[in-house]
């Protein structure tokens, strides 16, 4: 018995499709372009590179479009997370931002099956999820209307581990953080680096070139 093939999609059909887009302001468009409001992004960098601060800045900006959940699997609800939240004045967006303190992926999936679920989910960090490639694909394919932003440890200038490498290739936006700068590669345009801490970034990159 032959297997029924999925119907091919014509160029005309593709042209007529309407996608939900994050209408970023001019500043963020230079960095990320005009991305879809769903899919997968990945951010990686070494400890002490400014990654946690960038994550929070990005999360705050994204509350303009959707409710954002930050699943702090690695750090949990600790003093360092509190400091980051205070420094970024997340109180200003408290109605659209929620911290999930080490919520396992099965519980996160139950949350996302509810009507009043967040539309954007940060998962920090990928290495603490225990996800396999198959489980990652299952998560992505079940929640096609959610934007997942995975935070990853780094091995040199690359995400750490085979699952992180797999997600990097699959992700629509890939952001490497080093020396208090975020370096984006986006399928939707943009590409300008984001300076997280100007003074610390200037010192880091000056030291590298001198």
d(CA 69, CA 1): 46
191 assigned to some structural domain: yes
Domain with 38 in it: what CATH number? 3.40.50.300
CB contact at 8 A, 122 and 88: no
Question: Does position 44 have pLDDT exceeding 60, yes or no?
Answer: yes
d(CA 3, CA 80): 54
Question: Does position 66 have pLDDT exceeding 60, yes or no?
Answer: yes
Range of the domain at 198: 30-209
- Global pTM value: 0.92
9 assigned to some structural domain: no
Q: What is the tens place of the pLDDT at every residue in 117-160? A: 999 999 999 999 999 999 999 999 999 999 999 999 999 999 99
159 assigned to some structural domain: yes
Q: Which is it for strands 147-152 and 39-45: parallel, antiparallel or unpaired?
A: parallel
140 assigned to some structural domain: yes
**What's the total number of domains in the chain?**
1
Strands (E), 13-153: 39-45, 68-72, 97-101, 120-124, 147-152
């Amino acid at each position: 018995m032959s297997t029924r093939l999925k119907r091919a999609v014509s160029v005309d059909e593709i042209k007529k499709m309407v996608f939900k887009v994050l209408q970023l302001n001019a500043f963020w468009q230079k960095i990320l372009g005009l991305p879809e409001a769903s899919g997968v992004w990945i951010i990686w960098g070494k400890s002490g590179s400014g990654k946690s601060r960038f994550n929070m800045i990005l999360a705050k900006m994204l509350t303009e479009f959707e409710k954002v959940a930050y699943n702090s699997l690695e750090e949990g609800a600790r003093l360092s997370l509190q400091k980051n939240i205070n420094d970024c004045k997340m109180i200003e967006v408290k109605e659209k931002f929620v911290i999930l303190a080490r919520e396992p992926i099965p519980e996160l999936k139950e949350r996302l099956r509810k009507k009043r679920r967040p539309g954007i989910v940060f998962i920090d960090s990928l290495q603490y999820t225990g996800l396999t490639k198959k489980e990652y694909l299952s998560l992505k394919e079940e929640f096609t209307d959610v934007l997942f932003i995975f935070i990853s440890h780094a091995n040199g200038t690359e995400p750490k581990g085979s699952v992180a490498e797999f997600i990097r290739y699959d992700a629509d936006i890939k952001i490497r953080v080093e020396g208090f700068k975020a370096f984006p590669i986006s399928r939707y345009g943009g590409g300008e680096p984001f300076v997280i801490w100007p003074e610390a970034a200037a010192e880091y990159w000056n030291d590298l070139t001198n």
